[in-house]
Structures are given as C-alpha cells and as structure tokens.
Amino acid sequence: MTYFQGLFGMAWPAIWVLVKIVVIVAPLMVAVAYLTYAERKVIGYMQVRIGPNRVGYKGLLQPIADAVKLLMKEIIVPSGANKFLFVLAPVLTIAPALAAWAVIPFSPELVLANVDAGLLYILAITSMGVYGVVVAGWASNSKYAFLGSLRSAAQIVSYEIAMGFALVGVLMAAHSLNLVHIVNAQLGGVFRWYWLPLFPMFIVYLISGLAETNRAPFDVAEGESEIVAGFHVEYSGMAFAIFFLAEYANMILIATLTSLLFLGGWDPLFDVAPFTWLPGIFWLLGKIGFVLFLFLWFRATFPRYRYDQIMRLGWKVFIPVTLVWLLLVGAVMQTPFAFLIH
C-alpha cells in the first residue's frame, strides 16, 4: 500500500476511495443481476413452474443474457419528449440508489464513510430517488408515463413520513445516528435486536420499504394492467435497464437497512459457540437474503392495492401507529424499565 501511495502521491486518497467504491458497487451490480434471477425462480416455484432454465446451467446465465440483450437495443426518444430530461431521468434514479451505499457498514470496520449522521444521510439521499420517476414521467410526453409518475410521487412522499418515524424510533433506542453504533447497540443475540422492542416500527418500516421501492403490492406506479408500465413505458434498451437496476438496488438497500436497524446487522442469531464461528458479514448477508426473500414472497402472494387503499394505509394507519409507539418508547425510556429498550 505504501508503494501505491508513493506512486500516486497527492491523488492517492481519491484513488483509494474510488477503489473502495468499485469494491462496493461491483458486487452490488452482480447481486442485482442475480436478484432478478432469484425473483423469477422463487416466483416460478411458488406458481408451480420452473422459471428460467435455458441459458446456462439451470438458467444461471439468464441475467447476463438479459443485460446483453438490453445493451444491444436501441434507445428511442419519443417525439415531443424533452430530450435532455428524458435522458437525465434514469441518471437521477440510479445516482441516489448507489450513493446511499456510501454509509452502509458491512462489518464494524468495513464501511466507506463512517459518518455520524449516517441515518439522516440515507433518509435524505433516498428521498431524492423520486425525482427520477417524476422527471421520467413528465419528459416522456405520454399520458401513461405521466399518470405513473404522479402516482409514484404521491405514494413515495406519503410513505417517507412513516418510514422516517420508524427510523426515529431506532435512533431513540440506539442514542445515535451512526449506523455502526446502532448495530453495536443491538449486539447479543436475537432477543436484543430492535425488531422486538420496536416491533410495530419494524413492520411499518418493512411495508413502507416495499412502497418506497414501488414493489408489489404497492406497484401502482407501473401497474401494467392499468397504465401499461407507468413512468418507464417509453424507455427502451439501456435507459430502461438503468431504471430496472435502480429498482433492484433500492430493494437490496432497503433489505440491508432493515437488517442493520432491526435485525442486528452482523450479530449472530445467538451469542454462543456454533453460531459465533460464522463471520459477521455472512450473518448480515443471510439477513439481507431473508428480507429480500420476503419481498419476493409478498409479490407472489398479495394482489395489488387499490390506490385509495394505499393512501389510507400510509396516512391513517402507519403514521398514527408510529407516532403512538414513539411516545411509548419515549415514556418507557424515562422509567426504570428503560433496559427493555436499552
């Protein structure tokens, strides 16, 4: 490392950060590719069919084939579209989806930027994602895309509030906004993780996460039976692929955050011998995988919500639930029972 430091001199810190970014983003892209494969396989088996099985062994090369296909396709810009914004929209979608990973810790040491306001940073960055959808819908100059983007904007803004309140519960319990501190406050086995004392918030966060990423059963933004494909109906080729990438990267991000904030991050299931042999990062990956499986399971199980029901759930159910639980957590923290929340 000192050799490289000498080689690049002043530019070394910047290059070192770039290397770290590549080390985080490259596996993320592979994970996104194979999440699409896992989704098709899992839903396939749930619907008693096999799923992709032609390209490669058991269809394992299918995501690569899909990516190559999308790369070769032409990007068509609709007539009457605002060309600059039309091209900018996928960029606006993917940038926050990747930027949020900067503060995600994978183990106590393995984190790109261990900042104190990490949780706030994530809230701020993920709230930028909606611009991509809104701009895509407007710039496409198509009524289906426009309707999709309107639906998506209203939905994301509504569910962000409940999501933010759920996160406030976590930071109250952990006394910190730093993600590493939040995980460290939960160490000590499954019963010390925050899913137990903050159970309603855990549920609200998980469901709001689904709504934020426009996943089924909250996928009215792209409801194919009503508005074709919503905001990205006019996109083709790589521009469409970028929307796709961002959606799945966001899904993995939400799953990771759920694991870190409510499921103890890299903490083993029980703090005894056979469980502690496995390194922490595998525990984290296992939890992420579990939450992602839940997402796929939901998609295969629930029918799509009607739009007014989505709004009702967000505003009239989730926000009151989180508010009441916030008050309760605050009150308990002032009593001798504060150890329950630690």
Binding site for other proteins (CB under 8 A): 82, 85, 115-117, 120-121, 123-125, 127-128, 130-131, 134-135, 138, 146, 149-150, 153-154, 156-157, 160, 177, 308-309, 312
CB of 13 to other proteins, least distance (A): 10
CB of 159 to other proteins, least distance (A): 12
CB atoms within 10 A of CB 340: 13
Q: Which is nearer to other proteins, 70 or 125 (CB)?
A: 125
Burial string for 242-264 (b: 16+ CB within 10 Å, else e) reads bbbbbbbbbbbbbbbbbbbbbbb
CB of 140 to other proteins, least distance (A): 12
Could you tell me the CA-to-CA distances from 38 to 32, 117, 209, 240, 292 in Å, in that order?
10, 34, 19, 20, 10
CB of 82 to other proteins, least distance (A): 8
Token pair belonging to 128:
């930028």
CB of 124 to other proteins, least distance (A): 4
Find out whether 144 and 169 touch, Cβ atoms under 8 Å: no
Could you tell me the CA-to-CA distances from 212 to 14, 17, 62, 96, 155 in Å, in that order?
33, 29, 27, 13, 8
Compute the half-sphere exposure of residue 335: CA atoms within 13 Å on the CB side of its CA.
9
How far apart, in whole angstroms, are the C-alpha atoms of residue 265 and residue 114? 15
- Distance from CA of residue 99 to its chain's centroid? 12
CB of 138 to other proteins, least distance (A): 5
CB of 293 to other proteins, least distance (A): 29
How far apart, in whole angstroms, are the C-alpha atoms of residue 150 and residue 154? 6
Q: Which is nearer to other proteins, 51 or 96 (CB)?
A: 96
Q: Which is nearer to other proteins, 160 or 222 (CB)?
A: 160
Q: Which is nearer to other proteins, 222 or 267 (CB)?
A: 222
Q: Which is nearer to other proteins, 92 or 284 (CB)?
A: 92
How far apart, in whole angstroms, are the C-alpha atoms of residue 211 and residue 284? 23
Q: Which is nearer to other proteins, 65 or 85 (CB)?
A: 85
CB of 305 to other proteins, least distance (A): 12
Q: Which is nearer to other proteins, 145 or 183 (CB)?
A: 145
Query: Residues 6 or more apart from 118 whose CB is under 8 A from it?
Result: 103, 177, 178, 179, 180
Q: Which is nearer to other proteins, 176 or 276 (CB)?
A: 176
Compute the half-sphere exposure of residue 293: CA atoms within 13 Å on the CB side of its CA.
9
How far apart, in whole angstroms, are the C-alpha atoms of residue 63 and residue 82? 31
CB of 192 to other proteins, least distance (A): 24
Q: Which is nearer to other proteins, 184 or 276 (CB)?
A: 184
Could you tell me the CA-to-CA distances from 307 to 125, 218, 320 in Å, in that order?
26, 9, 20
